[in-house]
Structures are given as structure tokens and as C-alpha cells.
Amino acid sequence: MKTLLLLIFWSLWFLNFSCRAVLSPLLPIIEEELALTHAMAGSFFLLISVGYTISLILAGLVSPRLGYKRAIVASFFFVSIVLFSLRLAESYRSLAVLMLLVGIGTGIYLPSIVPMITAIFDRQKWGRVIALHDSGASFSIFAVPALVAVALRFFYWRTLFLILGGACLVGLTFFWLFSPDPHVQKEESPRFLNILGRRDFWVMGILWSFAAAASMGVYNVVPLFLVKERGIPLELANTIFGVSRVGGLFVPLAGFLADRYGAKRLLLLIVLTTGIATTGLAWARDFNLLVMMLILQATAATAFFPVGLLSISKLTDVRERSTFIGATIAFGVTMGGFTPLVLGAVADVWNFQIGILILGILIICSSASLKGLKEV
């Protein structure tokens, strides 16, 4: 039964992540059809992140009282309605509003599902279970660009939102029928200011911010970077984009390693590798080297998240876990949302290479914050 539950949870995380990831491979088409600048196109990701941040914070405070299962059901139903509405968006303004709502709807999931997972599964297996669950996002990053490239041969780009909305309703149905509703939601949540006063919260917030910038921030501009600056055709760029995420399929191994060797030292290795690969992506000129840097950068950045969630789960008790997760990820999502906008603005003035290079250097520097985190 637990295997079935993990499969359902994995599917929900895949769909939840896909609702945000699907915009990136479609962005060159949307940018051209709506006559947008790079900065305007990047603002969609900022709006998703703003909505996601709002619901992350609210979910951490409300979900324990409402019930984690009910919160997840409500979020998926809301997101499905928004996705159906996206098919009708005809202007930058309407698309921007709906992207904000996508962020609000999808942000409820993670602060609700992690406490459910830690309540259902044994503590000794948290690392591998959380990592296996998180591989749903890795698979989404890998599969969505390739699926979009194939789907665009048969469907108009707006129809893809309709298909994704229907898939969310199907996943929601299975979750409602088979998932238990652990009674951890009856625990009283701590005051939000108490969470902000913890040093380990700020350490995880910094690390999560740069991990999100390296993962989704860079992810969301890679198609534009490949097409506009490297001169690669759109279909080939989306194919490379998808293939570069293949390493994310092996991210569950990070959970097994964290269970065995500890999360802190693994986080240091992941952050340093991510920063080095991000700077390498900016400098790569040879096609093969470019693909290698894309794969390494995507794999290392994605590996951070399950290890980060494991660290948070071990640093907190069940009473504060949802609030801590929501607030920490809110930092990351904000940074991840601003990153495409900033990189797009830098590209409008100079190029994407400069922005990506500076980001890589900052990620390397962020590893110093791990000194403030106790062993987990």
C-alpha cells in the first residue's frame, strides 16, 4: 500500500511541477506571438513565483489546521480551473494574471505533502522516500520539453494547458480515493516569527534561494539562451533542453547517500558542483561541452532539493515542519522567480552569458553559509 501511495504522491508532484515547467519550452512561441521583450517574457516566471511564495507561506500556516489532504485536493482543483482558463488568454495582461494564479494554486502542495510523507513512512527511510518523491520534479524537468516538442506537431500551444488541466484532475481523483489523512494536522503550528528567529532557517533559506536560481531560474531561460545566443533551432533546442535534464532521473540516489553519510556534507558537494557547472555553462562554446555543462548543472541543482527537504525534516518536529518548509521554499521561489527576469534584463542590455556567469559565482560563495548548519 505504501508503494502505491508513493507512486500517487510522485505523480502529483510531477503534475504540480509540470504546471510551472511547461511555460519554459513554450516561451519562444509565446514571446513571438505576443511580441514580448525578454524581460516581459521573464516576468511570467516572476508572477508564478510571487503567487507560489504567497501560497507557500499560507500553506505552512493553514494546512496543519485545514488538513494536509484537504489542502492538496483544493490546490489541484483550483490549478485545473486556471489551466483550462489559460487556453483563452489572448494578451500579456490576461496571461500574466493567470500565471500568478498558477503559482498560488501550486504552492500549497509541497508544505502539505512532506509532513504527510514523514507521518506515513519510517524516519530511517525519509531520505530515500523524499528523494524518490522529489524525482517527480526531476522527471518533469526532463520530460516536459520533449513532450512539448512532440505535442506542438499536433496541437496548438494553448491546447497543451487544457490537456495538463485534465491530467491534474485525474491525479487528484486517485489521491482522494487512496491517500490517508494523517492526524498531524491537529498539531498547533508555531508562530511564524519563531521560525524566522532560527539560524538554521536562514541558512536553509540562503541555500534554497541559490538552488532555485540555479535550477528553475536558469531552466526557464535556457531555451531563449540556446535559440537567441547560440543560434540553435527551436526544436533542437527543446530536445537538448530535455536531454540535459536526464541526470535528474538519478537524483533519488542523493537520498540514499544522505541517509547513509549525512545531509550536510552532501549539501556542500552539491552547492559547489552547481556553482562550478553554472559558470561552465556561461563559458561553454563547443556544442558538446555546452551539453555536458547543461547536464551537470541540471543534475547538481536538482539534487539539492530532496537533500534540503531531508535536512529540514530532521531539523524540525512535526509541529513546525510545514511552516518551516513553506517559509524556506518561499525564499527559494522568490529568488527563482526574479532570476529569469534579471537574466532577461541583462540579456536585453548585454547577453545571457554575463548574467549566468555572475549567478554561478554567487552560488559558489553561498556554500560558506553551511558553516551555520548543524550536522543532520
pLDDT band at 285 (very low <50, low <70, confident <90, very high): confident
Q: Please check the confidence at residue 190 and state whether its pLDDT lies above 90.
A: no
**Number of Cβ atoms within 10 Å of the Cβ of 89:** 18
Whole-number pLDDT of residue 191? 59
pLDDT in tens, 243-255: 777 776 777 777 7
pTM > 0.85: yes or no: no
Report the mean per-residue pLDDT for the chain. Answer: 82
For the chain, the structural domain boundaries read: 2-178+188-372
- Please list, in sequence order, all residues whose beta carbon lies within 8 angstroms of the beta carbon of residue 254, skipping any fewer than 6 positions away: 131, 266, 270, 303, 306, 307
For range 132-161, the mean pLDDT: 84
| pLDDT exceeds 90 at position 166 | yes
CB 87 within 8 A of CB 162: yes
pLDDT above 90 as % of the chain: 18
Mean pLDDT on 161-174: 92
CATH architecture designation of domain 2-178+188-372: Up-down Bundle (1.20)
Over residues 8-62, the pLDDT tens digits come to: 999 999 999 999 888 888 888 888 887 777 777 778 877 887 888 888 878 767 7
Question: What are the tens digits of pLDDT across the range 120-143?
Answer: 888 777 878 888 888 888 788 778
Per residue in 256-282, is it b (16+ CB within 10 Å) or e — as a string?
ebbbeebbeebbbebbbbbbbbbbbbb
What confidence score (pLDDT) does residue 192 get?
62
Q: How many other CB atoms are found less than 10 A from the CB of residue 122? A: 9
